[in-house]
């Protein structure tokens, strides 16, 4: 919570305005340094189990001080030492005098920093997964509700063929489904850095265990198990490969670009007065124009999404400039990029869920807009019906062409209405055509409704079963 004194310095809007408390706490200093301490305990436990002279009393002393961090003391140590890990080694050691001699034994700084980053990213993905599922669930509900409502589809943002509002929602949902599949894959592939020593050679641990290679391998396996990972990356330098960060940022960017695309579609539909995001009773659209109903939520989604998408390139550049076993120019950069990307995607998915569960649909406007274009789309059916009634195909084709061009001139040059159906109905050559039948919009939606049913059954329902909490997950937008 921001206090009065905090308003004199810059804040992070991702935390104060947009992201969830859960995600903000995940990347907090408290969580990070407490995790460092847990990793020092894990290392000590594993080393003791493999025969190093570390007592249970020392381990219990460390366990008793996992979360009570003396931040002022740590800051003072860092001012003197110019090294954040050593500052916290000393701070932890001051709190645990019996364990001080064995804290960080054999480890390099990246034992705590890199393993912590992997743990935090894993938990961050575990937070995002059900949020993604909730977004898919809301779009699935919307698709079911509007399965049968015909609307105009577009290619090149030009009128194409009729579809249904429900089927369009399935298109939106499927991109999020692909993102969820990628997220689940990335989660399944995450590994620990483990205990690899200063440059990844494990030389310090080999010395601790007096040249016993098997004990060093068992130590690494044991530490990874205690961290909840199936193992470590096959080989590392001082750090795990920064390509892993790039892969995670690519995933987050993909989620962002999906949200951007869908939010943009909704903004365009709002311009057409067909579908709008939720707009609250006391909400103000514009400080100058009281009548405005601006798509604020979708615009915010797009703004946050562009930020996330810009971070992916940063992660690739960081990986590209890691000389040999490691350079430190990744450190300050990653402190910014990784948490910010997770916070922003968290905020995006909360917004998406909020928007999708409150979408406002205007069926009469949708039908009006469709019927303004439908006569042109129905001409092939009208032609075939007239031929089946005994007409000459070539003559009928020419008559439709002439009527169509005349109508197009009225629409474009005079701003008139599309009265092609009325013109054809008045033409004796089409007297036997059942115009009510051939101008029914549902005649032209193909398998749209059936595809909605299949998509919900085959794609959405399994996700709901995997993430049962997604159907009741709240998506409150704070500002």
Active-site residue 286, yes or no? yes
Task: Determine the Cα–Cα distance for residues 425 and 404; give it in Å rounded to an integer.
Answer: 13
What secondary structure does DSSP assign to 250-293, as a single string?
A: HHHHHHHHHHHHHHHHHHHHHHTTSEE----TT--S-SS-TT--
Q: Is the dihedral of CA 347, 352, 358, 364 positive or negative?
A: positive
Residue 320 CB burial class (10 angstroms; 0-12, 13-18, ≥19): exposed
Q: 135 near 347, Cβ under 8 Å?
A: no
Task: Determine the Cα–Cα distance for residues 208 and 105; give it in Å rounded to an integer.
Answer: 9
Structure tokens of 474?
């709240």
- Cβ neighbours of residue 349 closer than 8 Å, sequence gap 6 or more: 128, 131, 132, 134, 135, 255, 259
Of residues 162, 143, 171, the one with CA closest to residue 442: 162
Active-site residue 156, yes or no? yes
Of 55, 213, 271, 286, the catalytic one is 286
Task: Determine the Cα–Cα distance for residues 283 and 318; give it in Å rounded to an integer.
Answer: 42
Residue tagged 């990844």 (tokens): 200
Of 5, 8, 156, 188, the catalytic one is 156
Task: Determine the Cα–Cα distance for residues 107 and 24; give it in Å rounded to an integer.
Answer: 29
Structure tokens of 407?
């109508």
Collapsing DSSP states into helix, strand and coil, what is residue 341? Answer: helix
Of residues 202, 243, 198, the one with CA closest to residue 221: 202
**CA trace torsion 184, 144, 354, 290 (10° rounding):** 150
DSSP code for 388: H
The phi and psi torsions of 276 (rounded to 5 degrees) equal: -130, 155
Task: Determine the Cα–Cα distance for residues 34 and 68; give it in Å rounded to an integer.
Answer: 8
Task: Please give the positions annotated as active site.
Answer: 156, 286
């Amino acid at each position: 919570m921001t206090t009065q004194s905090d308003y004199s310095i810059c804040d992070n809007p991702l935390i104060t305005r947009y992201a969830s408390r859960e995600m903000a706490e995940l990347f907090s200093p408290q969580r990070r340094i407490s995790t460092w301490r847990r990793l020092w305990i894990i290392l000590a436990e594993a080393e003791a189990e493999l025969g190093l002279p570390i007592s249970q009393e020392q381990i219990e002393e460390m366990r008793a001080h996992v979360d009570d961090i003396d931040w002022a003391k740590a800051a003072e140590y860092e001012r003197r030492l110019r090294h954040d890990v050593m500052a916290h080694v000393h701070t932890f050691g001051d709190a645990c005098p019996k364990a001080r001699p064995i804290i960080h034994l054999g480890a390099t700084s990246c034992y705590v920093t890199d393993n912590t980053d992997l743990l935090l990213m894993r938990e961050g993905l575990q937070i995002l997964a059900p949020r993604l599922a909730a977004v898919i669930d809301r779009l699935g509900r919307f698709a079911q509700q509007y399965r049968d409502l015909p609307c105009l589809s577009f290619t090149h943002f030009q009128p194409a063929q009729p579809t249904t509002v429900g089927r369009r929602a399935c298109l939106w949902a499927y991109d999020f489904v692909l993102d969820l599949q990628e997220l689940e894959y990335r989660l399944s592939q995450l590994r620990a850095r483990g205990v690899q020593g200063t440059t990844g050679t494990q030389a310090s641990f080999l010395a601790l265990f007096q040249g016993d290679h098997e004990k060093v391998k068992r130590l690494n396996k044991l530490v990874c198990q205690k961290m909840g990972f199936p193992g470590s990356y096959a080989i590392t330098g001082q750090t795990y490969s920064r390509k892993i960060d790039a892969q995670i940022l690519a995933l987050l960017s993909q989620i962002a670009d999906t949200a951007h695309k869908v939010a943009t579609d909704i903004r365009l539909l709002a311009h057409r007065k067909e579908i709008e995001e939720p707009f609250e009773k006391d909400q103000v659209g514009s400080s100058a124009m009281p009548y405005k109903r601006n798509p604020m939520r979708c615009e915010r989604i797009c703004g946050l999404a562009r930020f996330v998408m810009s971070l992916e390139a940063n992660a690739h550049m960081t990986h590209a400039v890691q000389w040999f076993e490691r350079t430190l120019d990744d450190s300050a950069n990653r402190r910014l990029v990784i948490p910010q990307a997770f916070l922003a995607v968290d905020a995006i998915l909360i917004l998406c869920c909020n928007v999708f569960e409150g979408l406002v649909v205007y069926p009469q406007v949708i039908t009006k807009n469709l019927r303004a274009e439908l006569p042109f789309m129905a001409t092939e059916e009208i032609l075939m019906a007239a031929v089946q009634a005994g007409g000459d195909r070539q003559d009928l084709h020419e008559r439709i062409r002439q009527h169509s061009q005349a109508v197009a001139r009225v629409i474009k040059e005079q701003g008139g209405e599309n009265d092609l159906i009325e013109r054809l109905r008045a033409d004796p050559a089409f007297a036997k055509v059942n115009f009510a039948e051939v101008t029914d919009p549902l005649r032209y939606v193909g398998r749209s409704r059936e595809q909605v049913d299949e998509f919900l059954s085959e794609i959405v329902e399994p996700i709901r079963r995997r993430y049962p909490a997604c159907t009741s997950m709240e998506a409150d937008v704070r500002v």
